[in-house]
């Protein structure tokens, strides 16, 4: 028994030692954490982006200005290296959109075309509307039952702190138009995927299935969806007029913008943090995802101001065109697949500007003591370590799927879907102190991940339900 006890004690001591950082590293982490009280650059960065660039839909001149802005901002913040990596994608354009009820109760409706939608062919579309409770009900409709009509899904998204009501609702946006077309519909409407009661529709991307006739697709604001449902409840046929000019316009090559704080002893190993630089065109893209870009840019800059750089490189990425298909994240994964083992961890801020309340990670088991120690260092910020939960952000997801370890700093998204993809996504929704808390959290997490001697290994396989 004595050799077994000795071996076990050695193993436990090694595990405990792996979770320890030297005194200087812990002091540096505490200094970064103090940004929560001292203040950070995060709010000033998102204010700059929304004021000087504003909405920046991928493929537009505004996104080109955002690329130049990001390069200049990284340099102004003192990053050691700033560079671009190309990202190619199809370009979708919104030109105009309108809707109204013609009969029996004539009224204007507020809509927005869904990203990727075709238009009404240069003319107005007039047709009777048929309501469905959800996508499953639409799929169950008899073949040809919607011939010459407009399908409308009235399902309402539910509000949750972690935003998990989004998944069940958003499937109607992604594939609903093709399901309606299969039944003979000539147009498609859905209640906005959002939790607000403002008369502002929520846009978002959709996809057409192969071999299915493309029909125009748009979202109604929540109050207008209520209005339309109330009309239909009266039992009379309701006729709508849609006028949408939108569609694809070729392809474009743009860029992920990357800033690095170079590591002192393992510069070819990287900790990746970031957000997506593009936004939809309706608001100024403050919470989606100007906040994420600002939080991570600020966190990297805070690490760069320390007297000693971390062992590994901190790589901050402003990803291109997340909104219309994760093009920036996929391009990064393709370009760096051969170096996936050099990625210590990846984390993305893309859930608005609410405070971080939980820390989660997917790493090799032997790294868990270090992850727990990072959780301990984050606790004074009001952040709880939650082992065995969470998943990677959207743009780091493609490389996480190939084995890159991931971290998640879960934000309070209680009101995120009130503003998401709407004209109401503006700077006034952001609280300075919340931004400071998040930037401090990202700085602590990224710095300690880069500083440890422990390799985080491979992420557990992703199930698709994270």
Question: What's phi and psi for 260, nearest 5 deg?
Answer: -130, 140
Six-digit token string for 219:
């979202």
- Other CB atoms within 10 Å distance of the CB of residue 387: 12
Q: What's the CA gap between 204 and 170, in Å, rounded?
A: 9
Given CA atoms 84, 89, 94, 99 in this order, what sign does their dihedral have?
A: negative
- In Å, what is the CA distance from 275 to each residue of 287, 298, 352, 417? 11, 12, 10, 18
Contact in structure between 146 and 185 (CB atoms under 8 Å)? yes
97, 322, 323, 348: the catalytic one is 322
Segment (H or E) for 3: helix 2-18
How far is the C-alpha of 46 from the C-alpha of 435, rounded, in Å? 10
CB atoms within 10 A of CB 361: 29
The residue behind tokens 């982006």 is 49
Question: Does residue 345 contact residue 438 with C-beta atoms inside 8 Å?
Answer: no
State the alpha helices, DSSP H only, in 126-250: 135-139, 166-182, 222-233
Among 360, 389, 390, which residue's Cα sits nearest to residue 372? 360
- Calculated CA dihedral for residues 44, 46, 51, 53, nearest 10 degrees: 130
Give the pair of three-digit tokens for residue 113.
Answer: 């075309």
Maximal C-alpha separation, the chain = 88
Task: Say how far apart CA 240 and CA 131 lie, in whole Å.
Answer: 12
β-partners of residue 253 are 88
Q: Give the CA angle between residues 303, 351, 424 to the nearest 5°.
A: 120
CB atoms within 10 A of CB 194: 27
Beta strands 81-103 and 125-132, pairing class: unpaired
Respond yes or no: is residue 322 known to be catalytic: yes
Q: Which residues of 148-184 are buried (b: 16+ CB within 10 A; e: fewer)?
A: ebbbbbbbbbebeebbebbeebbebbbbbbbbbbbbb
The residue behind tokens 């339900």 is 465
**Cα gap 454→456, rounded to integer Å:** 6
Number of Cα atoms under 13 Å in the Cβ half of residue 44: 8
Residues carrying an active site annotation? 322
């Amino acid at each position: 028994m004595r050799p077994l006890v000795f071996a076990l004690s050695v193993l436990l001591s090694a595990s405990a030692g792996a979770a320890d950082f030297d005194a200087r590293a812990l002091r540096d982490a505490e200094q970064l954490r103090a940004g929560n009280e001292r203040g950070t650059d995060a709010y000033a960065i998102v204010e700059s982006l929304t004021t000087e660039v504003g909405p920046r839909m991928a493929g537009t001149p505004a996104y080109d200005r955002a690329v130049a802005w990001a390069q200049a901002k990284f340099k102004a913040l003192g990053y050691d290296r700033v560079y671009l990596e190309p990202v190619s994608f199809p370009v979708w354009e919104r030109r105009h959109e309108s809707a109204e009820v013609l009969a029996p109760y004539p009224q204007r409706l507020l809509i927005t075309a869904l990203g990727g939608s075709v238009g009404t062919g240069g003319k107005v579309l007039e047709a009777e509307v048929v309501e469905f409770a959800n996508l499953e009900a639409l799929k169950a409709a008899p073949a040809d039952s919607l011939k010459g009509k407009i399908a409308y899904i009235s399902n309402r998204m539910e509000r949750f702190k972690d935003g998990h009501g989004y998944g069940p609702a958003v499937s109607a946006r992604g594939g609903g138009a093709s399901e309606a077309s299969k039944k003979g519909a000539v147009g498609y409407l859905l209640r906005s995927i959002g939790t607000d009661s403002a008369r502002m529709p929520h846009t978002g991307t959709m996809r057409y299935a192969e071999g299915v006739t493309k029909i125009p697709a748009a979202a109604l604001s929540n109050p207008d969806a209520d209005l339309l449902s109330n009309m239909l409840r009266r039992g009379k046929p309701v006729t709508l007029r849609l006028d949408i000019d939108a569609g694809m316009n070729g392809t474009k090559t743009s860029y992920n913008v990357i800033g690095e704080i170079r590591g002192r002893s393992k510069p070819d190993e990287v900790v990746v943090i970031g957000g997506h630089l593009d936004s939809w065109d309706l608001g100024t893209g403050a919470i989606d995802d100007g906040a994420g870009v600002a939080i991570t840019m600020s966190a990297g800059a805070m690490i760069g101001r320390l007297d000693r750089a971390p062992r590994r490189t901190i790589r901050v990425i402003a990803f291109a065109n997340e909104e219309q298909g994760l093009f920036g994240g996929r391009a990064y994964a393709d370009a760096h697949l051969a170096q996936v083992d050099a990625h210590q961890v990846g984390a993305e801020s893309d859930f608005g500007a609410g405070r971080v309340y939980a820390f989660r990670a997917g790493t090799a088991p032997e790294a868990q003591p270090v992850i727990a120690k990072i959780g301990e260092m984050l606790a004074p910020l009001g952040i709880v370590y939650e082992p065995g939960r969470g998943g990677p952000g959207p743009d780091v997801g493609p490389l996480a799927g190939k084995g890159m370890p991931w971290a998640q700093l879960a934000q309070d998204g209680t009101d995120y879907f009130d503003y998401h993809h709407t004209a109401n996504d503006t700077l006034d929704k952001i609280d300075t102190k919340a931004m400071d808390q998040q930037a401090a959290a990202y700085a602590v997490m990224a710095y300690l991940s880069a500083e440890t001697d422990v390799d985080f290994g491979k992420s557990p396989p992703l199930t698709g339900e994270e």
